[in-house]
């Protein structure tokens, strides 16, 4: 249904469907399932990422009822309030490397694991390159490097605390 809606939009208007409009379409479907008997609501929240000419890179969150909102940075799931608190304090416009490091920090502070590993962590990046939108999953070696960088920064902060 979503691909068909996006294709109808493309055929009608001659350009790709804007991300927010696509998210709205998904949320309309989710909302219908909350209204009619015999249909089971989706019961999940989603994060959507995308790019369009109108607004550029975008991040949206939807809840099970079909409400959605746009964000610069957000999270869903267990310990989301802790993650949101960290993001509110530390997120600003930043280069990709810093953003990935912040993502690792948020996950390290909110996941129920004693040590982050590449088996527990997967990072995906949405970028515009050469006029095309690319979604890239980071390789395990790249994720491992980010984890080590985060751990080194945390160790440095701990050492500074002890010395004062």
pLDDT at 27: 93
Q: Which DSSP helix (H) or strand (E) runs through 10?
A: helix 2-13
Given a cut of 90, is residue 153 above it in pLDDT? yes
pLDDT in tens, 10-68: 999 999 999 999 999 999 988 888 887 777 777 889 999 999 999 999 999 999 888 99
Q: Where are the alpha helices (DSSP H) in 18-139?
A: 19-35, 80-90, 96-110
């Amino acid at each position: 249904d979503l691909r068909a809606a996006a294709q109808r939009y493309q055929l009608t208007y001659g350009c790709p469907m804007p991300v927010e409009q696509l998210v709205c379409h998904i949320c309309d479907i989710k909302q219908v399932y909350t209204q009619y008997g015999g249909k089971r609501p989706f019961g999940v929240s989603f994060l959507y990422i995308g790019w369009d000419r109108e607004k550029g890179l975008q991040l949206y969150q939807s809840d099970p009822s079909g409400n959605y909102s746009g964000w610069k940075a957000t999270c869903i799931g267990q310990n989301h309030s802790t993650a949101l608190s960290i993001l509110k304090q530390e997120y600003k416009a930043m280069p990709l490397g810093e953003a990935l490091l912040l993502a690792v920090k948020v996950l390290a502070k909110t996941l129920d694991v004693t040590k982050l590993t590449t088996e527990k962590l997967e990072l995906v990046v949405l970028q515009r390159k050469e006029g095309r939108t690319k979604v890239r999953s980071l390789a395990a070696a790249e994720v491992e490097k980010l984890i080590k960088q985060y751990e080194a920064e945390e160790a440095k902060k701990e050492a500074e605390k002890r010395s004062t």
